[in-house]
């Protein structure tokens, strides 16, 4: 770490800042982000603030706002490992570069159950989140310190509440977890009509003891909220043993666009989000998914959760699901499986914790590949893991995919866009020796011809902890250097949402010379990112990659496709 700080200081900043200057408050304040500040000897970052969660995302433009209750700093400050050198109190002080990359804004967490145990704890005295560990807070004192999510949770109350699309357009699935096998219900009613009658549906319990954690959440519950009016807003809660969750709101699947009812569908998309490293992206995603900020239709996660869901006896998975609830309890959270969910071929945590379409087929196994419709898009979730585990499923998935693609093409007047998402890429520029780096890629050999034949428009992938955009490409050949009526699928690799391998600093470098099909790539340290996908109409789709740490769009494209449909297999 000393080496990294020194290199960044000398290479990136020597032109205008000496080490001596770095120790001054004014010099530190020249640095716009935590990572750049912490790269300089003598500079740190104070996250402490009385701003609300939404305001915190714009806080770099509001650094003049100090804590109103007592003297403190927010943003850059001269200091050392112990804190600011001028003695200003800061309960959440970051001095090391790596801490910026895996930072959790503990003070912004709204209640005890949302703490992230490894980096944050909860002080019941002040009812605030603070950086710390099992021994206590990093700075200051707290006589009633809680460092475990299990300590916060009601013993029988529901947790891990998240939504997903059901088989029927007028239904929504809600999945949650409890510690006991008991009577469980979901209650829902119109969010806009205070006088509307509430409805209750039973939740079906499924024992889940595969984590080996006796204090974990042993039962998964699924309830189908039926009879929804498409596009209407609803409020709902779930209950285990008469212990109710909070009340959440959601929008039922919107009506399809039609003359006089034309609207743009917006999706938040990403892959590879860990229990620790994903905190930066998760906070930004939560803000963007809030209805008063951006009218997001659906959340799509391209595999690799928590790193891993089954680690620490399932505590990793429990913690991740607790964290994702703030986002996925309000928007449908649609997923595919990644390599970190394999679990010796059982996929146990993934199959138990999530409820995707076809979850009720073949004891849940067949939800590893499924599809769903929304707006003008037919989405296909597929498993790349069949090529690396449980290879007997290769043909089963292929046959299902072909039948699904045939049906989707017969329906392209209504849903012209076909978008597929799986975990491992078919192409990538990374240097880690993964399948996508090889000319003999087994994923590409297994699926590319099929996707090309049936006119898949966009393929989203992850696995590589980086962002890369390809030109329209088929059979290792670029069909054109633009996105106007592409003659092949557009591959977008968005796997940099924040894993926590290597202590959070896990972005895979892209250092090779540019290959012909690589249009844009980014994997510099600090560029954790996710994507915005907007389907504007039947011919125009927009995508961008948003860098969380720097709060900026690093890359964007418009895809214009006026000729959706089957493709010629020869270029």
Q: What is the DSSP string of 268-283?
A: EEE--EETTTTHHHHH
User: What pLDDT is attached to residue 75?
Assistant: 64
Which of the four pLDDT bands, split at 50, 70 and 90, describes residue 57? very low
| DSSP-based three-state secondary structure for 363 | helix
Report phi then psi at 137, rounded to 5.
-70, 155
Asked if 48 and 59 touch (Cβ cutoff 8 Å), the reply is: no
* 102-127 burial: b if 16+ Cβ within 10 Å, else e: bbbbbbbbeebbbbbbbbbbbbeeee
CA angle 149, 337, 399 (to 5 degrees): 155
User: Residue 206 pairs with which residues in a beta bridge?
Assistant: 220
| Sole residue written with tokens 């003359």 | 259
Cα–Cα dist 58/49, whole Å: 12
What pLDDT was estimated at residue 319? 83
pLDDT in tens, 98-116: 666 566 667 766 667 666 5
pLDDT in tens, 293-344: 568 999 999 999 998 999 888 888 988 998 899 999 999 999 999 999 999 9
> In this predicted model, what pLDDT tens digit does every residue of 197-235 receive, in sequence order?
999 999 999 988 655 565 566 799 999 999 999 999 999
Confidence at 13, pLDDT banded by 50, 70, 90: very low
* 271: nearest Cα among 545, 555, 559: 545
The span from the CA of 457 to the CA of 518, in Å, is 17
Rg, C-alpha atoms of the chain: 24
**Within 10 Å of residue 292's Cβ, how many Cβ atoms?**
7
Query: Of 182, 324, 12, which Cα lies nearest the Cα of 4?
Result: 12
Q: Is the per-residue pLDDT at 90 higher than 70?
A: yes
Q: How confident is the model at residue 86 (pLDDT cuts 50, 70, 90)?
A: confident
pLDDT > 70: percent of the chain: 78
Task: Give the mean pLDDT of 382-390.
Answer: 96
Q: What is the pLDDT of residues 516-565, one digit of tens each?
A: 999 999 867 667 899 999 999 999 999 999 999 888 999 999 999 999 99
DSSP 202-257: E-EEEE--TT--TTS--EEEEEEE-SPPTT-EEEEEEEETTEE---EEEEPPPPPP
Structure tokens at 207: 């024992």
Distance of alpha carbon 547 from alpha carbon 235, whole angstroms:
32
For residue 279, count other CB atoms closer than 10 A to its CB.
26
Sequence-separated (6 or more) residues with CB below 8 Å from residue 264? 534, 535, 536, 537
């Amino acid at each position: 770490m000393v080496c990294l700080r020194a290199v960044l200081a000398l290479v990136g900043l020597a032109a205008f800042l000496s080490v001596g200057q770095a120790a001054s408050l004014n010099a530190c304040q020249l640095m716009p982000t935590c990572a750049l500040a912490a790269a300089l000897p003598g500079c740190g970052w104070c996250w402490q603030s009385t701003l609300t969660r939404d305001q915190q995302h714009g806080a770099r433009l509001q650094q003049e706002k100090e804590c109103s209750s007592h003297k403190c700093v927010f943003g850059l400050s001269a200091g050392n490992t112990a804190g600011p050198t001028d003695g200003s109190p800061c309960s959440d002080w970051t001095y090391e570069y790596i801490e910026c990359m895996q930072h959790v804004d503990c003070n912004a967490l709204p209640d005890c159950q949302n703490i992230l145990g490894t980096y944050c704890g909860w002080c019941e005295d002040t009812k605030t989140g603070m950086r710390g560990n099992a021994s206590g807070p990093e700075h200051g004192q707290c006589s009633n310190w809680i460092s475990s999510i299990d300590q916060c949770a009601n013993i029988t109350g529901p947790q891990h509440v998240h939504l997903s699309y059901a088989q029927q357009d007028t239904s929504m699935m809600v999945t949650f977890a409890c510690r006991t096998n008991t009577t469980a219900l979901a209650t829902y009613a119109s969010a806009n009509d205070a006088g509307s009658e509430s409805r209750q549906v039973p939740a079906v319990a499924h024992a889940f003891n595969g984590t080996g954690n006796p204090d974990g959440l042993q039962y998964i519950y699924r309830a189908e909220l039926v009879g929804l009016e498409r596009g209407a807003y609803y409020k709902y809660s779930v209950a285990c043993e008469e212990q109710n969750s909070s009340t959440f709101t959601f929008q039922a699947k919107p009506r399809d666009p039609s003359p006089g009812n034309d609207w743009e569908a917006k999706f938040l998309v990403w892959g590879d989000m860990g229990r620790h490293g994903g905190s930066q992206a998760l906070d930004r995603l939560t803000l963007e998914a809030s209805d008063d900020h951006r009218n997001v239709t659906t959340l799509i996660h391209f595999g690799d959760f928590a790193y891993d869901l089954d680690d620490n006896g399932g505590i990793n998975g429990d913690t991740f699901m607790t964290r994702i609830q703030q986002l996925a309890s309000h928007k449908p959270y649609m997923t595919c499986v990644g390599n970190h969910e394999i679990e010796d071929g059982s996929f146990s945590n993934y199959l138990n914790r999530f409820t995707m379409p076809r979850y009720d087929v073949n004891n849940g196994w067949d939800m590893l590949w499924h599809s769903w419709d929304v707006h003008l898009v037919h989405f296909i979730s597929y498993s790349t893991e069949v090529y690396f585990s449980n290879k007997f499923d290769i043909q089963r998935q292929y046959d299902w995919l072909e039948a699904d693609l045939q049906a989707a093409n017969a329906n392209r007047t209504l849903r012209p866009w076909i978008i597929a998402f799986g975990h491992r890429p078919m192409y990538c520029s990374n240097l880690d020796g993964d399948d996508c780096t090889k000319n003999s890629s087994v994923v590409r050999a297994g699926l590319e011809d099929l996707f090309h034949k049936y006119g898949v428009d966009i393929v989203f992938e992850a696995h590589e902890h980086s962002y890369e955009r390809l030109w329209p490409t088929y059979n290792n050949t670029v069909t054109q250097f633009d996105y106007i009526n592409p003659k092949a699928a557009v591959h977008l690799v968005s796997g940099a949402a924040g894993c926590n391998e290597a202590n959070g600093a896990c972005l895979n470098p892209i250092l090779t010379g540019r290959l012909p099909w690589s249009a844009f790539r980014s994997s510099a340290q600090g560029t954790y990112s996710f994507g915005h996908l907007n389907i504007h109409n039947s011919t125009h789709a927009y995508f961008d990659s948003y860098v969380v740490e720097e709060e900026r769009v690093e890359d964007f494209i418009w895809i214009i496709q006026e000729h959706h449909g089957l493709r010629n297999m020869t270029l």
